[in-house]
Amino acid sequence: MRPFHRLPLLLTLAIAALAPVPPARAAQEGKARAEQDDARQKLEGVRKDIDALTREQRETANSRDAANAALAKQAEQVSAAARAVRDTDTELEHRRHDLEQLNAQRAAIQAGLDTQKGALGDLLRATYTLGRGSDLQLLLGDEDVNRISRALAYSRYFQENRVERIRALLADLSRLQEVEAAITAEQQKLEATRKEREQRAAELEKQRASQQKLVAEADSKYKDQAQRMAALKQNEQDMNALVARLQKVIDEAAKAAEAPPPAKGAPSAPVGNLRGNLPWPASGPVHAYGNGVIIVAPRGSEVKAVARGRVVFASFLRGYGMMIIVNHGNGFMSMYGNNETLLHGVGDTVEAGQPVGTAAAPAGDNGAYFELRQGGKPIDARAWLGKRH
């Protein structure tokens, strides 16, 4: 088909594209936008309700136990310092990668320059051999017109080629200078980032030492095992109360919205279909502890979500340290306690296997805490987690 035969079709498509949207379609699009805006507002409302709940829970715990307030504040300072070190490590890795790429560019340009220099030298020698580099000599030293014509043609070709190669050589030399300058600048940035990392690491160690001192002071207040067990029971009651209130907020939000706003990303299987196949949140020796499991994971190692969901709590909780709770829908929640750093906040969507925190330093049999609940009630996490290899 020739191009002008398609013109009526193209005009029709263009006119159709410029034509006003039918009222019914416009109404549907407007309704969809309104529903999306309403869903966003409701989600923001849920986030604010949970933030208020978190503040209230913390104030209640702090008023009951002054030591808890100090521990919570110190845990947050350690978390901030550890997060800063982690972010700096990420920045360092990016800068190293950028520097490697610049060095590779420099090597490639240098190799090209060496090749061009060699080719240019060969060309200059060929030009000199052809006629000692002089067109005038060709005219004065030979009466054969054809030979003169061919020689002049070769001479012009070599001269033009020489000029092109010289220009290319100069361009590459200019690029090499730019890359050299970029490498110097990147090396300076890398060194500055290294120093920043050292400062942040020193601050982190300082905060960790203060935290260990507070934890030791809090532990020394228990006169006997009975008091310690009573404290553990109180911590569990606090957890139950928190989960019940979170579940209430989530249920009320679900009733207010006929369908919860879909989270970005590909859908994943509901937690209820993954019994015995959930990935382990961390690596290390496992110990049972009350309703959950303790994984003696190395300090700073990543703690990962076992399934897709939305963060509904991310704060300090007495007895559980820096805690993050993820709602997976259908009444399922997963809890990750004793973190040194929390990597997400309330309202964030996380995917299965995505880091939600980093483990605090293990102490004896204590380590990263994991718990799974359905309908607010604890369920045997080990029966839901997959086999360890």
**Average of pLDDT values for 314-334?**
90
Predicted pLDDT at 279? 92
Residue 339: pLDDT band with limits 50, 70, 90: very high
Residue count of the chain: 389
User: Which segments of 50-115 are extended strands (E)?
Assistant: none
pLDDT reading at 269 higher than 70: no
* Average pLDDT value over all residues in the chain: 75
Give the C-alpha distances (Å, rounded to integers) separating 23 from 18, 28, 30, 179, 241: 15, 9, 10, 57, 51
Residue the block writes with tokens 């030492």: 209
Predicted pLDDT at 161? 61
pLDDT above 70 coverage of the chain, percent: 63
Helix (H/G/I), strand (E/B), else coil: 301: coil
Q: For residues 210 and 122, is the Cβ–Cβ distance under 8 A?
A: no
> Residue 152 has which token pair?
């002049």
Q: Return the minimum-mean-pLDDT range out of 102-106, 226-230, 285-289, 291-295.
A: 226-230
Q: Return the minimum-mean-pLDDT range out of 98-112, 155-169, 280-294, 335-349.
A: 155-169
pLDDT reading at 261 higher than 60: no
Q: For residues 261 and 39, is the Cβ–Cβ distance under 8 A?
A: yes
Residue the block writes with tokens 């986030």: 47
**Average of pLDDT values for 13-26?**
50
The phi and psi torsions of 58 (rounded to 5 degrees) equal -70, -45
Q: CA–CA separation, 19 vs 230, rounded Å?
A: 73
Q: For residues 350 and 303, is the Cβ–Cβ distance under 8 A?
A: no
**Average of pLDDT values for 187-196?**
87
**Average of pLDDT values for 108-128?**
71
pLDDT above 90 coverage of the chain, percent: 15
All structural domains of the chain, each given as residue ranges with its CATH number in brackets, are 89-217 (1.10.287), 227-255+266-384 (2.70.70.10)
Select the more confidently predicted residue: 58 or 260: 58
